[in-house]
């Protein structure tokens, strides 16, 4: 189908979907790229879920969307001891949940305890590993072989004070507290649902009519594979500064359809879901913010290291070396993505620099494969590349498979699954090679390297290495920045030698966003907080354009048109 015809077909499909909605449009609509797997903060590990959770909940601290500085959230202030081991948070008085219950320090204690409880299986329980007694509690170690919460350094001496004691200092601990994994949940409701619906409590607890939140928005409705609607929380402590009354998050996986929705005014923001075919045509629009900030994101392929022949590091390294990443970035993606050969995107993060990758030649790849016992006469057994639904994932998989077929005599198939099914397959190691990505949870190299430790739920490769685990543990406890960087580099060297996953490229930010939107900034983690969003006044929009283009002629983007901009007057601008 020709591009124009594809666009028209997509527009028709999008209009049909839109016509199914019988409620008034939201003040602000964005595409979340997929249906979320869960709305339980303790269980999420992906970007689509995080976008919703930042609207529903608020942690002790939040991040400034422009500077990334730590700002007060549910805690209005805090102190850190000189040795960096004791944090004391003071919650805002008269702060309540969306059902009117007081929000107390004990809510954070019980929520953090839930994250650390093994049966919760939180993928980010390690964020609290530095807390005194946390690892013993997770492992069930204590008097009589039982977990002992009383020995964990998380306490609420009174309703508005929370104390956290660390066994070793973490310079980025406040950044960890700003992540979605450590948001509070309303444990009273959760326990009620567990008692009433023992077999399905998790589904019942997260329904709009039951979910109790403490953030700027509540969950008004959810239609699976369509949209989630957020509604301004009248009980939120800072509700006077929340501009939008309603926000819709769409679950459109098809990038062409998402682009059509944006171009026809059906949504106000697309994050990354821009078909490469149209990047060049969109590049000069004022509403296309492309690569205008470093983005701490890595696109890679996980390898199931428990299955032959992928249990052999030589095979894994051969597969990695054979791929020409320049073709992926320049021919397939076309948006400024950078070829990546390391597990830290861009090969550098703050004071940390990744070690050099090995020789990247086809001859080297074939030698490794021959050493492992494979050749044209004895080819690798047939295997499958697994990816979630998106045109770019398919295009990359097809290119990589063609390289492996021609260069390494491999017989390669494909398995395409929707987001939730794809994620479940990864978690069960029900794949051979699987498309993946990782966006940093906090701006530190350990956010990327740490997911490959043996007991990390985000590993999803079956690969384990005791030396790597030891180096990561030592780096967490090392306060000297240079020595810590050396330990991390040694750990990454092991990853490069073992190659449990294949790094392919470093992300760049790609946002198609209504120029009227204020409180929206590109940042290293691609993180947005709905609390800060608003529509700019005409004067603010004009001044913003003048700053951006200076004396150059201002050409208004043709796309989200005047009808869409008129939402500003209705929704209000801060």
pLDDT bin (cut points 50, 70, 90) of residue 561 is very low
pLDDT score at 171 = 86
pLDDT bin (cut points 50, 70, 90) of residue 323 is very high
pLDDT score at 147 = 72
Given a contact cutoff of 8 angstroms between Cβ atoms, the answer to whether 444 and 403 are in contact is no
Give the mean model confidence (pLDDT) for residues 35-44: 93
Higher pLDDT residue, 338 or 574?
A: 338
Q: Which CATH architecture has domain 295-508?
A: Roll (3.10)
Please tell me whether residue 404 adopts helix, strand or coil conformation.
helix
How far the first Cα of the chain sits from its last, in Å, is 45
Give the mean model confidence (pLDDT) for residues 10-15: 44
- The H helix count followed by the E strand count for the chain is 20, 21
Given a contact cutoff of 8 angstroms between Cβ atoms, the answer to whether 388 and 430 are in contact is no
Looking at the predicted structure, is the pLDDT value of residue 555 above 70?
no
Burial 281-318 (b: 16+ CB within 10 A, else e): ebeebbbbbbbeebbbbbbbbbbbbeeebbebbbbbbb
Q: What mean pLDDT value characterizes the chain? A: 89
Q: Give pLDDT tens digits for 206-230.
A: 999 999 999 999 999 999 999 999 9
Looking at the predicted structure, is the pLDDT value of residue 573 above 50?
no
Which secondary-structure segment (H or E) carries 540?
helix 538-549
R_g over Cα of the chain: 24
Give the mean model confidence (pLDDT) for residues 46-51: 91
pLDDT bin (cut points 50, 70, 90) of residue 67 is confident
Residue position matching structure tokens 């993928």: 123
Q: Tell me 536's DSSP state.
A: P
Give the mean model confidence (pLDDT) for residues 281-290: 89
pLDDT score at 550 = 60
Distance from C-alpha of 198 to C-alpha of 212, rounded to nearest angstrom: 19
Instruction: Domain 56-193: give its CATH code.
Output: 3.90.76.10
Strands (DSSP E) along 18-85, which ranges?
28-31, 61-63, 70-72, 75-80
Higher pLDDT residue, 453 or 391?
A: 453
Residue position matching structure tokens 């939040």: 62
Residue 536: C-alpha distances to residues 24, 272, 544 (Å):
22, 23, 9
Distance from C-alpha of 298 to C-alpha of 295, rounded to nearest angstrom: 9
pLDDT score at 45 = 82
Question: In this structure, what are the phi and psi dihedrals at residue 292, rounded to the nearest 5 degrees?
Answer: -90, 15
Q: Which of 511, 565, 257, 275 is nearest to 392 (CA)?
A: 275
Give the mean model confidence (pLDDT) for residues 434-449: 94
Given a contact cutoff of 8 angstroms between Cβ atoms, the answer to whether 23 and 228 are in contact is no
Distance from C-alpha of 45 to C-alpha of 294, rounded to nearest angstrom: 21
Please report, for the chain, the start and end positions of each structural domain, with discontinuous segments joined by +.
3-33+216-287+514-571, 56-193, 295-508
Distance from C-alpha of 154 to C-alpha of 149, rounded to nearest angstrom: 9
Looking at the predicted structure, is the pLDDT value of residue 273 above 90?
no
pLDDT score at 331 = 94
pLDDT score at 22 = 63
Q: Tell me 524's DSSP state.
A: T
Distance from C-alpha of 200 to C-alpha of 463, rounded to nearest angstrom: 33
Q: Give pLDDT tens digits for 381-431.
A: 999 999 998 889 999 999 999 999 999 999 999 999 998 899 999 999 999
Q: Give pLDDT tens digits for 70-85.
A: 999 999 999 999 999 9
pLDDT score at 493 = 98
Q: Tell me 295's DSSP state.
A: E
pLDDT score at 180 = 95
Distance from C-alpha of 80 to C-alpha of 87, rounded to nearest angstrom: 5
Give the mean model confidence (pLDDT) for residues 325-338: 94
Given a contact cutoff of 8 angstroms between Cβ atoms, the answer to whether 344 and 352 are in contact is yes
Distance from C-alpha of 126 to C-alpha of 549, rounded to nearest angstrom: 45
Give the mean model confidence (pLDDT) for residues 126-134: 95
pLDDT score at 566 = 35
pLDDT bin (cut points 50, 70, 90) of residue 545 is confident
pLDDT score at 564 = 34
CATH class of the domain whose range is 3-33+216-287+514-571: alpha beta
pLDDT score at 291 = 72
Distance from C-alpha of 352 to C-alpha of 481, rounded to nearest angstrom: 9
Task: Check whether the bond before 309 is cis (ω within 30° of 0).
Answer: yes
Burial (CB count within 10 angstroms: exposed 0-12, middle 13-18, buried 19+), residue 138: buried
Distance from C-alpha of 483 to C-alpha of 505, rounded to nearest angstrom: 28
Looking at the predicted structure, is the pLDDT value of residue 258 above 50?
yes
Looking at the predicted structure, is the pLDDT value of residue 16 above 70?
no
Given a contact cutoff of 8 angstroms between Cβ atoms, the answer to whether 37 and 419 are in contact is yes
Contacts by 400-407 with C-beta closer than 8 Å and gap 24+? 400/301, 400/323, 400/328, 403/322, 403/323, 403/324, 404/319, 404/322, 407/322, 407/362, 407/365, 407/366
CA 328 to chain centre: 22
Distance from C-alpha of 381 to C-alpha of 399, rounded to nearest angstrom: 19
Question: In this structure, what are the phi and psi dihedrals at residue 520, rounded to the nearest 5 degrees?
Answer: -120, 120
Looking at the predicted structure, is the pLDDT value of residue 1 above 80?
no
Give the mean model confidence (pLDDT) for residues 519-525: 87
Give the mean model confidence (pLDDT) for residues 348-367: 93
């Amino acid at each position: 189908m020709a591009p124009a015809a594809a666009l028209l077909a997509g527009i028709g499909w999008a209009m049909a979907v839109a016509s199914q909605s019988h409620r008034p449009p939201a003040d602000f609509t964005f595409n979340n790229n997929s249906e979320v797997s869960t709305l339980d903060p303790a269980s999420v590990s992906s970007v689509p879920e995080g976008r919703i959770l930042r609207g529903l909940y608020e942690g002790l601290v939040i991040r400034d969307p422009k500077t990334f500085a730590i700002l007060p959230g549910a805690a209005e202030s805090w102190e850190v001891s000189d040795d960096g081991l004791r944090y004391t948070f003071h919650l805002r008085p008269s702060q309540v949940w969306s059902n009117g219950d007081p929000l107390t320090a004990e809510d954070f204690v019980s929520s953090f305890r839930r994250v650390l409880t093994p049966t919760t299986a939180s993928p980010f329980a390690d964020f609290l590993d530095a807390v005194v007694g946390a690892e013993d509690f997770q492992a069930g170690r204590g008097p009589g072989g039982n977990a002992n919460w009383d020995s964990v350094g998380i306490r609420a001496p009174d309703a508005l004070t929370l104390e956290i004691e660390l066994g070793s200092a973490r310079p980025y601990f406040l950044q960890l507290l700003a992540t979605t994994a450590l948001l509070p949940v309303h444990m009273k409701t959760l326990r009620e649902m567990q008692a009433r619906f023992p077999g399905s409590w998790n589904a019942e607890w997260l329904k709009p009519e039951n979910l109790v939140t403490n953030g700027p928005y509540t969950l008004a409705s959810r239609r699976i594979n369509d949209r989630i609607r957020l509604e301004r929380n009248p009980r939120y402590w800072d509700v006077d500064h929340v501009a939008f009354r309603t926000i819709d998050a769409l679950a459109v996986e098809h990038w062409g359809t998402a682009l059509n929705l944006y171009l026809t005014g059906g949504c106000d923001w697309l994050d990354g879901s821009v078909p490469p075919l149209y990047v060049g045509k969109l590049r000069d629009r004022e509403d296309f913010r492309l690569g205008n900030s470093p983005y701490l994101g890595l696109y890679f392929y996980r390898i199931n290291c428990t299955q032959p022949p992928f249990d052999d590091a030589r095979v894994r390294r051969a597969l990695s070396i054979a791929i020409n990443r320049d073709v992926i970035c320049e021919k397939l993606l076309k948006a400024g993505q950078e070829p990546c050969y390391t597990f830290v995107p861009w090969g550098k993060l703050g004071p940390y620099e990744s070690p050099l990758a090995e020789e990247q030649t086809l001859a080297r790849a074939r030698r490794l494969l021959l050493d492992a016992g494979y050749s044209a006469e004895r080819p690798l057994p047939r295997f499958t590349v697994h990816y979630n639904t998106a045109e770019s994932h398919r295009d990359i998989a097809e290119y990589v498979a063609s390289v492996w077929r021609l260069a390494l005599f491999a017989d390669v198939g494909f398995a395409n699954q929707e987001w939730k099914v794809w994620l479940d397959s990864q978690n069960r190691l029900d794949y051979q090679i699987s498309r993946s990505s990782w966006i940093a949870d906090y701006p530190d190299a350990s956010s990327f390297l740490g997911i490959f430790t043996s007991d990390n739920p985000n590993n999803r490769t079956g690969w384990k290495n005791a030396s790597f685990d030891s180096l990561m543990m030592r780096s967490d406890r090392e306060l000297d920045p240079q020595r810590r960087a050396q330990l991390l580099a040694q750990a990454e060297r092991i990853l490069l030698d073992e190659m449990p996953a294949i790094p392919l490229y470093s992300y760049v930010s790609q946002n198609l966003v209504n120029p009227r939107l204020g409180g929206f900034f590109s940042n290293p983690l691609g993180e947005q907080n709905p609390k800060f969003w608003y529509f700019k006044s005409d004067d603010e929009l004009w001044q913003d354009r003048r700053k951006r283009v200076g004396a150059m002629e201002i050409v208004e983007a043709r796309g989200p048109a005047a009808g869409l901009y008129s939402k500003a007057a209705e929704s209000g601008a801060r």
